[in-house]
Structure 1
Amino acid sequence: MSITTPQLRDLLVVAQKAVRQAEGYLHDDALGAITAKGDRDMVSEAELEVEQQIRATMREATPDIGFLGEEEGGDTGDTSTRWILDPADGTANLIRGLPLYGISLALVAGRTPVLGVIHLPALRRRYWAATGLGAWCNGRQIRPATTSDLCAAMVAIGDFGTGVHAEERNRVALALHAHLASHAQRTRMLGSSAVDLAFVADGTLDASVTLGNRSWDMAAGAVIAREAGAAVMDTDGSDHTTASRTTIATAPGLRDSILAVLKDTTANSRYAPDRERGER
């Protein structure tokens, strides 16, 4: 499915409306039942309601576009172009009352995210972007930081892993933390990929590194950061897609220094630049 710029404008309006209508469910004092769904992984009743509502809205408004949600999986439809939703990226933060969480909705064409909407209800920040249309927060066009020296940079690192591949991921993450502790101004672990990427897009953070690439976590933020002007890439410096091994977003002036850090810390791991990529 080929999507024109006027179509992207219309789809962006639909996506923003769908997320705005659903975000009221995400209050840390009214989440309903919390259910375990994996190794130290949880889902709340409110998240399921968000996903069901957005899924229904998009099915009615865009019946020819497929849909994949983190909690309920995929619908039938055009899977080459589909909506991808995380109803609450940062679930652990949400259920603990930490304000770093949000709804993340993306449109992906092939392996390329082309539209993204992220709403952070507790922070009252609404981000959106689409290919060729720029990136925005609360109606203001955003740009990444101008930082070019790693020693002046605040870098977010994705959560330590759980479940499959956790041991390898955590070994690399520890090496990454150790390296940046000696070279970056500060490191942060915020607990939400959507927040990390949105904050790189608007210059709150200078860079974000996540060892992994689950589309519902990354796709919307990747579009927003890319359209803001950040470098959004895989470990080898190639443009970020749904097939990337890692999700790296940096202020343009930090691209090379962050890639150099990743080359050193990911050696002999599945995240190394010379490893084959595959859908994550």
Structure 2
Amino acid sequence: MAHEAVDLARDMMRTLRPGVLTGKGDRDMASEVDFAIERKLRAFLADRTPQIGFLGEEEGTSGVGDELTWSLDPVDGTVNFVHGSPLCAVSLGLIARKQSVLGVIDLPFLGNRYSAALGHGAFADGERIHASQTADLAEALVALGDFAVGAGAAALNAPRLAITAAFAEQAQRVRMFGSAAIDLAWLAHGRLDAFVMLSNKPWDTSAGVIIAREAGARLADADGSPHTADSGATIGANEALLPAVLALVRQAPPASWPHGRSRPRSGTPG
């Protein structure tokens, strides 16, 4: 059913223009396609799985799911989509008690489909995939999440800028693609060695986290604790590389960590 739902979204992204843009704050927006896809999939999944709740980026929650919730980003990378960049995705995850258990990510303009279910491995276009085994940060390609915009952006971006500078000095290369779903899918596929995003919205990460985990990556919060839907950050790499990634993250100024946290403590990565 998740694949069927994402098929609908993929076809809409391929055929519809962005249309009128709705402002969501300073330099942030949703397109008509964002709303159209979310409404289509909300109705489709409510009909097919009425016992499961639904969380969408644009219009929030609906239905009541005691243990399970669908989590959808209808167009992850809306700014890319509006500008005609192919780096955008549909991201549909299933969350059970704060943990991602199923995910489907489609890259409509690149022609790729990523999927995973808990305990069943991760797949790209039907083929099993595995995370990178790069253990040396100097050989790692690292993707970073977007900078913050809107109210308080300067304070929120202080640790982001510090982390960017730290990885620029130590990683092989640093990239910012503008889509958390793509970052996590490519982490799972071994196309990236690490991913750092100092935010965590379930619609952005629920599908990608389970895909990356099932491919062998480790996902953690900024303090090193296992990643959940309630985490403040999303940090991933293979088991050998993750400690070095977290160590650099911990060096960033602690003035404005997600959820108002102080400097991250040490912990066991998830």
TM superposition score category, shorter chain reference = over 0.9
- Quote the sequence identity (%): 46
> What is the match of residue 155 of structure 1?
142
- Give, in angstroms, the shift of residue 249 of structure 1: 1.1
TM-score (norm 1): 0.90
Letter in 2 for 1:160: F
Show the counterpart of 1:127. Answer: 114
1:21 matches 2:8: yes
Matched, 1:113 2:100: yes
Q: Is the contact made by 1:22 and 1:50 (CA closer than 8 Å) also made in structure 2?
A: yes
TM-score, normalised via structure 2 length: 0.93
2:199 equivalent in structure 1: 212
Paired residues, number: 262
Can you list the C-alpha shifts for 1:71-129, whole angstroms capped at 9, x where unaligned? 11111311542101000000000000111111001111111111111001011110011
Range 230-239 or range 147-156, more displaced: 230-239
Q: Give the AA of the match of 2:230.
A: A
Structure 1 runs, 4 residues or longer, greater than 6 Å off = none
Q: Does 1:240 align with 2:232?
A: no
Report whether the alignment pairs 1:56 with 2:51. Answer: no
Following TM superposition, by how much is the alpha carbon of 1:185 offset from its aligned partner in structure 2, in angstroms?
A: 0.4
Say whether residues 1:255 and 2:242 are aligned partners.
Answer: yes
* TM-aligned CA distance change 1:29 to 1:82, over 3 Å: closer
**Selected match of 2:61 from 54, 67, 74:** 74
Residue segments in structure 2 that go unaligned for 5+ positions in a row: none
Equivalent residue of 1:122, what SS?
Answer: coil
- Secondary structure of the equivalent of 1:252? coil
Q: CA deviation at 1:166?
A: 2.1
Q: Give the drift of 1:243.
A: 1.3
Cα distance in structure 2, aligned partners of 1:262 and 1:49: 37
Q: Which residue does the alignment assign to 2:78? A: 91
Match of 1:273 in 2: 264
CA distance in 1, matches of 2:138, 2:85: 28
Q: Is the 8 A contact 1:132 1:227 kept in 2?
A: yes
Give the structure 2 partner of residue 3 of structure 1: none
Q: Give the corresponding residue for 2:27.
A: 40
> Is 203-212 or 26-35 further displaced after alignment?
26-35
**For each residue in 1:143-183, what CA deviation from the matched residue of structure 2 results, as whole angstroms up to 9, or x when unmatched?**
01110000000100100001344222211011011111110
Give distance in 2, aligned partners of 1:128 and 1:159. 24
Match of 2:217 in 1: 230
Task: Name the CA distance, whole Å, in 2 between partners of 1:176 and 1:15.
Answer: 35
CA contact (8 A) 1:25 1:31 kept: no
